[in-house]
Chain A
Amino acid sequence: MLQVNKVEAGYGKLKILRGVTMTVPQGEIVTLLGGNGTGKSTMLKAVSGLIPVMSGNIIFDGVDISTMKPHERMRLGLVQVTQSKEAYPAMTVEENLMLGAYTRSDRASIAADLEKVYGFFPVLKERRKQLSATLSGGEVQMLVIGRGLMAGPKMLMLDEPSAAIAPKVVLEIFSNINKIAKSGVTILVVEQNVRMALILANYGYIIRDGVIMMEGKADSLISDPAVKESFLGGSVADTSKKLQSG
């Protein structure tokens, strides 16, 4: 679905990504892991088109999108969900969601998707007339994911959905991401919460200083001693159980 080939990108003359190659197969959940300032967000911005690609190319659904504008990429079905703080606070929950469907004109299918989003996140339906400034952190995260879904994406890119959210809510959000993937949407999730992300995903990449340090199947990364030492402490078994049952 998405193929990133030897991409270099950054801000102005500053190069952050130094030749990143990764693949997101259709229907899977892939995670990109790394600490602050390793190039995770830069990677997402390069894929969604907010910053230009200096060299290399990005193929989405068979189309080279490397030089396309963000709104053009989005119309192809490549949708980035921004970090949770980035809902529109002065708009209501429903206005925020409808904004996600901005590029679509088929009212019936938009209405159907709105119900689907409310199905995933019932709390949004309760609060649909409220300004999104009044939502809690977790609710805003649900809102921005829902807004991404309203675009009718083939692939959803999530930027740290667990950031600054209570652990219990993280579990709820991640189990919904799992459901969204099962409904046929390919997912790339960028995370610092390595444990949660690897439990959720099929495949993982670990980025450091703008290059991919390590990659592999999620379950093999979880048990990898190097990963364990630098990112994980303690057991992952019960979290995994909770996620699957949630």
Chain B
Amino acid sequence: MGFDFNSLLAFIIFGITIGVVYGIVALGISLIYSGLDIVHFAHGEMYMFGAFFGLVLVHDAGFPYPIALVGAMVLTALLGMFVERVFYRRLTRAGGGYTVAGMGMIICGFGMSVALVNVAYFIWGAEAEPFRANLDYIPRLEFGDGIQVPESYVLTAIISVVLMLALNYFLRYTKIGLAVRAVAHNKEIAYLMGINVPLMISLIFGLACARAAAAGVLIGPMQSVQVEMGYLMLMKAFAAAVVGGFGSLPGAIVGGIMVGIFENLGAAYISPSHKDIYAFLLLILVLSIRPSGLFGIEAKVKA
């Protein structure tokens, strides 16, 4: 059997679409890390809750898909802000400011992850639910010799790119974005600039969780929605964030896309049953060459 460039192209295109989704989840993880110095282990659950919120809004409330997407982002942002305000802030405050008080934060993140999964079990049960969304108005794309990209993939790619650009615009060109970057770099000076630091921290958390929710709603129609879905996404997104350089926002995106492509190629040409391993092979490979990740810099330049 000769080598088929057409299918290679297809695998790469699908890899990129799934990769940008890893990218936006990783973006949230990096944003929280660079802003709050928290490695957020419950971020996968934000993704899962986002997917369920989207599902409920479409199936039960009957909203059209785009509105459900926005609704799920808002609800998850509120959930994330609630979790940060009520639980995490107690720990971060123990350091006198908003820095991490050692191991406690990591354990708290894991605990939150388990707690949120069980809350979700309680509400939605253990069964995987299919996410039926009407996407007929979105065109299918065709590449080369009849490679068809389904609607949900096209939509995913578009929305992810829009979310990334919006975040970039927000951080670079708005006054609040400037304040967020200031808080990320040094909370003490940000305070002295008259910035309401606690409010900005809530905002960072909300933005990051909204991005995870968007990923959940976008992935929903491709796979099914179930309570345990957060764990694997968290691992992939972490791999993406670390490959890109932890805390670097462009790094998170590039890392996500690399993980997506690598995973799809591995599944296609090595073995599909080990699909979830390839992300970590890539991780080991990148870290052995560049220990701080692709965009990681020795002196951490944040956000």
Q: Is B191 an interface residue (CB 8 A)?
A: yes
A151 contacts B188, CB within 8 Å?
A: no
Q: Is the interface of B mostly helix, strand, loop or mixed?
A: helix
| Minimum CB distance partner of B196 in chain A | A71
Q: Give the shortest distance, in Å, between B94 (CB) and chain A (any CB).
A: 11
Category for how many chain A residues contact B:
20 to 34
The answer to whether A50 and B179 have CB atoms under 8 Å apart is: no
Which of B194, B196, B197, B303 counts the most A-chain CB atoms under 10 A from its CB? B194
A74 nearest CB neighbor, chain B only: B194
Question: How far is the CB of B114 from the nearest CB of chain A, in Å?
Answer: 32
- Judge if B166 is at the interface, Cβ distance under 8 Å: no
- Given the known interface contacts A50-B188, A88-B186, the answer about A151 and B181 at a Cβ–Cβ threshold of 8 Å is no
Evaluate whether A75 and B185 lie within 8 angstroms (CB atoms) in the complex, with A11-B96, A90-B302, A99-B178 already known.
no
B274 at the interface (CB under 8 A from A): no
Give the interface segment out of A78-86, A114-122, A237-245: A78-86
Q: Is the CB of B194 within 8 A of A88?
A: no
Category for how many chain B residues contact A:
20 to 34
Q: Does A22 contact B (CB under 8 A)?
A: no
* Interchain CB contact under 8 A, A99 and B185: no
Flag whether A100 is at the interface (Cβ < 8 A).
Answer: yes
Among A82, A88, A90, max chain B CB count under 10 A is at A88
Most buried by B among A71, A74, A79, A82: A71
Residue from A11, A12, A102 within 8 A of B193 (CB atoms) = A102
Say yes or no: is A95 at the interface (Cβ < 8 Å to chain B): yes
Are B191's CB and A50's CB within 8 A? yes
Flag if A80 contacts B179 (CB, 8 Å): no
Is B189 a contact of A86 with CB atoms below 8 Å?
Answer: yes
Q: Is the CB of B191 within 8 A of A102?
A: no
| A79 touching B178, Cβ below 8 Å | no
By a CB distance below 8 angstroms, the chain A residues around B186 are 86, 88
With both beta carbons as reference points, the residue of chain A lying nearest to B192 in the complex is identified as A80
Q: Check A79/B192 contact, CB under 8 A, given A11-B96, A89-B301.
A: yes
Given A12-B96, A89-B301, 17 extra CB contacts under 8 A = A11-B96, A50-B188, A71-B195, A71-B197, A74-B191, A79-B192, A86-B186, A90-B181, A90-B185, A90-B302, A90-B303, A91-B181, A95-B178, A99-B193, A102-B178, A133-B301, A151-B194
Q: List 28 A-B contacts (CB under 8 A).
A: A11-B96, A50-B191, A50-B192, A69-B191, A70-B192, A71-B191, A71-B193, A71-B195, A74-B193, A74-B194, A86-B186, A88-B185, A88-B189, A89-B185, A90-B181, A90-B302, A90-B303, A91-B178, A91-B182, A95-B178, A98-B178, A100-B193, A102-B193, A102-B195, A103-B194, A147-B193, A151-B193, A151-B194
Q: Which residues of A contact B (CB under 8 A)?
A: 11-12, 48-50, 69-71, 74-75, 79-80, 82, 86, 88-91, 95, 98-100, 102-103, 133, 147, 151
Residues of B within 8 A of A (CB): 96, 175, 178-179, 181-182, 185-186, 188-189, 191-197, 301-303
